Amino acid sequence: MRQGITRRNAIRTAMGGAAAMAVGGVSVASAKATGGAGSGGAAVNAAPSPELTLWYDAPANEWESETLPIGNGALGAAIYGGAAAERLQFNEKTLWTGGPGSPGYDFGNWREPRPGAIEDVQRQLDANGRATPEEVAARLGQGKTGFGAYQTFGELTLAFPDTPQNPDGYRRELSIAEAVSRVGYSAGGAQHTREYFASYPAGVIVGRIAADQGGRVSFTLSYDGPHQGAQVSAANGRITVRGALQDNGLVYEAQVQVLTEGGSRGEDGNGVTVSGADAAWFVLSAGTDYADSYPEYRGDDPHDAVTSAVDAAAQQSYQQLRDAHVADYSALFDRVALDIGQQMPADVPTDALLAGYGGGDSARDKALEALFFAYGRYLLIASSRPGSLPANLQGVWNESTAPPWSADYHVNINLQMNYWPAHVTNLFETAGPLHEFIDALRAPGRESARQIFESRGWVVGNETNPYGFTGLHDWATSFWFPEAGAWLSRHLWDHYRFTQDTDFLAGTAYPVLKEVSEFWLDNLHTDPRDGLLVVSPSYSPEHGDFTAGAAMSQQIVHEAFTSTLEAAEILGTDPELRQQLAAALDGLDPGLRIGSWGQLQEWKEDLDDPNNDHRHVSHLYALHPGNRITPGSPEAAAAEVSLNARGDGGTGWSKAWKINFWARLGDGDHAHTMLAQQLRESTLPNLWDTHPPFQIDGNFGATSGVAEMLLQSHHGEVELLPALPGSWPDGSVTGLRAVGDVTVDIDWADGRPTSALLTAGRDGVLRVRGALVAGGCSVTDRTGGGVTTLAARDGVVEIRASAGHSYEITAG
Ligand code: FUC
């Protein structure tokens, strides 16, 4: 069952410059290098797997494409790794301008009432069939005010005296097996090592600077930031940064405490200087007085929380902090392991690995593919942990005060894509911040629904911020997307489907779904063309004209009604609403039309241009992330025609979506082609996805896409290897998750599954599909006890599963 694990876990030295120090040194030698043990106390840290390591032989010159990210959800840092001059650009996820306190902030609600405005547009669409985005934006939109932008917090800089800029044996790396970044080099006859990580349990970013000879650690640590009026001071080895954003008065504070082993420590202006130490380390925490509560969005002053996080971390030893961090991270990351036959070359840095991708060395290409898959999981853990906001367009990393698209929450694909890997790759805890964010949108969203749409329920437009911007702006091709609330609600429903947690369904998911459905019950329009219920005005992101009943609008509303209905049935609640939903579903335009050239229509009229290669492929929503289009159906065939016409190009996230689409169509080779396209054209040397510019959704979408190639369960069955590409003939995956609270391991050889292990989280019937079961199979309860196989037909085997039991399926 575990053929891949041995190869994956082959441990080699972690530091390669270091290779000089510890070539082949499995534990002690490399541990010494990574721990940087000085005479002031050894830190013996295990060497990570090279297959799960990004590494480079020069410092980062540029933030976007070269720095290495660490994060604990709320805090993030991008590390340059300069030998003489180190920089850690850092972020705290709530540091946002805009919102209450920012001049003119209106939540996107209309500043003046516009009675009948939406009905006017509906009448125009009824009469003419179309309206240009500019016309509709002029009627319904309004300029954005006070939306704000995600802000960099600033940088920690470390100046190392007497250190050459280009020392010998330089290497910097990010081990995603441990979530620890390192810098190593030799200078002045000593081996110098730095380690950085962001601890979720301790709520701090930690850095340690060490050398393999006593007394060789000297540096000055300072803060540098762009925020006017920030007060910076240093005392007792602690730098404090405090201020209020000029735009909205948001109070922020950061503290960094420097600790030493040997040597001396003092203040140098607003910086902290360490001289002649054996080793030194620092802990950094930061916060703001943001709270996710409408309408003020303010909570406690951050001073106490930041002080106590730094004080508590400073009480622990470096090794204690590190051990707790690695244990916390590994508990999530280690749940999944993928072997596709990858072989990481020992001497090829990650930027060269990327540049050489597709050069004919298949095992090496697979090393990049497997690393890229794992990196998406790393980035999700690093940018989305309970207690802070969800991952934004850049996760938690942003170096600017005016980032692209404000590094906000676009909800016509981007925020949703961030969370596609959360369940299937067994990281369901990372979805917590998204669930809380959706919940917090309801209060402002109700006001927008009432004020703009004169309806019940809640709504959010095309993009939002942490301050409840649930209304409209006036960028013609992206200001209108009221379906976003329903699409977001799908994530709550999916959380229930994967976990089967009925408390979550009753307490969190259903109230949100119910209000979304109420919104759409109030807002559907009867189409004079055929009497069906349609969304009007409707706009398929982010191109074409406004029409009534575009495919994506109809598919999303259909899904919201269906899941609300099913949830209400499971919970045995709201019989009247259930009747209304059933009636509305009967009358709803299905949004699944096949057009003149065999395509799935993007609009209700057959307007599709076969030469249109727009990045959004919204009309295939029902194929992915939706689950209404099933393999083998006429709609699936039409979706394939549409997808072929759109082509294999697109921005980073668009390519990532296409991996998922092709996987859902069962075409593993085409899914792999899209993965290869993304790696070739839309991936930066630090393996961040680029739209361009850097946009993290593509990382997450690609990770989800790889998982979809290996396992699908959206259609009520556990389908093994639904889209295995020819280039991955042998391999294994462990720890993926399927709908119904099931954990799945699969082994395959020669392109066919050889065995699978399904572990049931609860009692129930497992339906398993795939080549493994199609020609007959045997099922063994590995936990002990007999197995009841209910049926084995039509390529499906049904197993009556007991909670906690693991069922091994083998062919024959
Ligand atoms: C959507 C996309 C753009 C970009 C932006 C952040 O509007 O259409 O390509 O990804 O979000």
pLDDT tier for residue 404 given thresholds of 50, 70 and 90? very high
Q: Name every protein residue with a CB atom under 6 angstroms from any ligand 1 atom.
A: 393, 405, 410, 412, 414, 478, 542, 615-616, 651, 653, 691, 695
Residues 99-120, mean pLDDT to the nearest whole number = 97
Residue 396 has pLDDT above 80, yes or no: yes
What residues does each domain of the chain span?
A: 3-38+720-811, 62-97+152-334, 117-143+384-647
Q: Which atom of ligand 1 is nearest to the CA of 462?
A: 7
Looking at residue 47, its pLDDT comes to 55
What is the atom index within ligand 1 of the atom nearest the CA of 654? 9
Mean pLDDT of 142-158: 98
pLDDT classification of 774: cutoffs 50, 70, 90? confident
- Tell me the pLDDT tens digit for each residue of 641-662: 999 999 999 999 999 999 999 9
CA 541 to ligand 1: nearest atom? 8
Strands of the 75-79 sheet, one edge to the other: 68-71, 75-79, 85-92, 154-159, 217-224, 271-277, 264-268
From ligand 1's centre to the CA of 682, what distance in Å?
Answer: 15
pLDDT of residue 794: 78
Neighbours of 175 (CB within 10 A): 25
- Residue in 412, 414, 416 to alter for ligand 1 test, most ligand atoms within 8 A of Cβ: 414
Position of tokens 């109030």?
Answer: 522
Ligand 1 atom having least distance to the Cα of 408: 6
Pairing of strands 806-811, 777-781: antiparallel
Q: How far apart are CA 53 and CA 660, in angstroms?
A: 25
What is the position in ligand 1's atom list of the atom closest to the CA of 478?
Answer: 7
**CATH code at 3-38+720-811:** 2.60.40.1180
Mean pLDDT of 82-106: 98
- pLDDT score, position 45: 52
> Taking a C-beta distance cutoff of 8 angstroms, is the pair 45, 34 a contact?
yes
DSSP for 684-702 reads -TT--BBSSSB-THHHHHH
Q: Which atom of ligand 1 is nearest to the CA of 695?
A: 10
pLDDT band at residue 17 using 50, 70 and 90 as cut-offs: very low
Write down the pLDDT at residue 310: 99
Region 581-604: mean pLDDT is 98
For residue 651, the ligand 1 atom closest to its alpha carbon is 9
Mean pLDDT value across residues 500-513:
98
CA distance 321 to 78: 20
Cis peptide before 436 (omega within 30 of 0): no
Return the pLDDT at 2.
33
Residue 214 CA to ligand 1 center (angstroms) comes to 52
pLDDT value at position 787?
80
What's the 8 CA to ligand 1 centre distance in angstroms?
36
Q: Which of 405, 483, 613 to mutate to test the pocket of ligand 1 (most atoms within 8 A of CB)?
A: 405
Nearest CA to ligand 1 atom 8: 542
For the chain, what percent of residues have pLDDT higher than 70? 94
Q: What is the pLDDT of residues 550-581, one digit of tens each?
A: 999 999 999 999 999 999 999 999 999 999 99
CA angle 720, 725, 731 (to 5 degrees): 65
Predicted local distance difference test score (pLDDT) of residue 790: 77
Residue 8: pLDDT above 70? no
Q: How far away, in angstroms, is 696 Cα from ligand 1 center?
A: 12
The pair of three-digit structure tokens given for residue 174, joined into one six-digit string: 């990010």
Give residue-wise pLDDT tens across range 206-222. Answer: 999 999 999 999 999 99
Give the integer Cα–Cα distance in Å for 755 and 749: 10
Pocket test for ligand 1, best of 413, 616, 646, 651 (most atoms within 8 A of CB): 413
What is the average pLDDT value for the chain, to the nearest integer? 93
CATH 2.70.98.50 fits 62-97+152-334, yes or no: yes
Write down the pLDDT at residue 171: 97
Res. 95: pLDDT tops 70 = yes
Judged against a pLDDT cut of 60, whether residue 201 lies above it is answered with yes
Alpha-carbon Rg for the chain in angstroms: 27
d(CA 199, CA 183): 18
User: In which band, very low, low, confident or very high, does the pLDDT at 159 lie, cut at 50, 70 and 90?
Assistant: very high
Query: To test ligand 1's pocket by mutation, which of 465, 691, 697 has the most ligand atoms within 8 angstroms of CB?
Result: 691
CATH domain 117-143+384-647 topology: Glycosyltransferase (1.50.10)
- For the CA of 393, the closest atom of ligand 1 is 6
Pairwise CA distance, residues 292 & 435, whole Å: 12
Q: For residue 536, which of 521, 525, 520, 551 has the smallest C-alpha distance?
A: 525
pLDDT score of 792: 73
Residue 12 in this model has a pLDDT that exceeds 90: no
Per residue in 371-380, pLDDT (tens digit) is 999 999 999 9
Pocket test for ligand 1, best of 478, 654, 690 (most atoms within 8 A of CB): 478
CB count within 10 Å of CB 490 equals 22
pLDDT, position 328: 98
Give the number of other Cβ atoms within 10 Å of residue 323's Cβ. Answer: 14
How far is the centre of ligand 1, averaged over its atoms, from the C-alpha of 475 (Å)? 12
Whole-angstrom distance, CA of residue 430 vs CA of residue 498: 14
Ligand 1 closest atom vs CA 697: 10
pLDDT in tens, 334-372: 999 999 999 999 999 999 999 999 999 999 999 999 999
pLDDT above 60 for 400: yes
* Of 410, 543, 654, 700, best ligand 1 pocket probe by most atoms within 8 Å of the beta carbon: 410
pLDDT at 27: 26
CA of 484 to the centre of ligand 1 (A): 14
